Amino acid sequence: MADRAYMYCPFCRNQGSPKVELHRDNVDMFCLMGHKGPHGQILAMNPEMIKTTVRFQPGPNDVKAEVWVNGERLLKAKEALGDRFHPTIASLISCCMAGEPVIIDGQQAAELRKLGIRNGQEMLAAAKENVQLAGQNQSLTDEVIKWETRIAGAMANIN
């Protein structure tokens, strides 16, 4: 049985029908217009991805809660997050209860993205790398000071 590939057929796109959906089996991807090819060939043609919509479904232990919040900010948050509003709020509450969350504001997030850091895992990896490099820097500095001292001592003995 073929599954949806969540991509549009690039062959059909090149022929003027950009919204023909691809299906996949264990070996090939194909469309209902008869185009067929191995996964690698199809992916090399940069097919357009089909964006999925995720609808929030509360879990079995979830309850609806009423909280006080600035109305203007609530509207902006709902507008910005769309269908992700409820899961985002639920995740934020879970993060706060799991320990001490680190919250990044928009400006800080933009600066991190400029540095190539896109998520918390990459942020942690960069911080660990920074600590490791700082240790290496200190050991190299100590080595340079040790050699400078030896050279200064040797120069003093020559004169």
Residues 6-16 have pLDDT tens digits of 999 999 999 99
Cβ–Cβ under 8 Å, residues 64 and 41: no
CA distances from 17 to 10, 46, 158 (A): 9, 15, 85
Report yes or no on whether pTM surpasses 0.75.
no
CA distance 92 to 83: 15
Cβ–Cβ under 8 Å, residues 92 and 84: no
Render pLDDT for 20-38 as a digit per residue (tens, 0 to 9). 999 998 888 999 999 999 9
What is the helix (H) or strand (E) element at residue 124, kind and residue range? helix 120-158
Residue ranges of domains in the chain: 3-44, 54-101, 105-159
Average pLDDT along the chain: 89
CA distance 85 to 60: 19
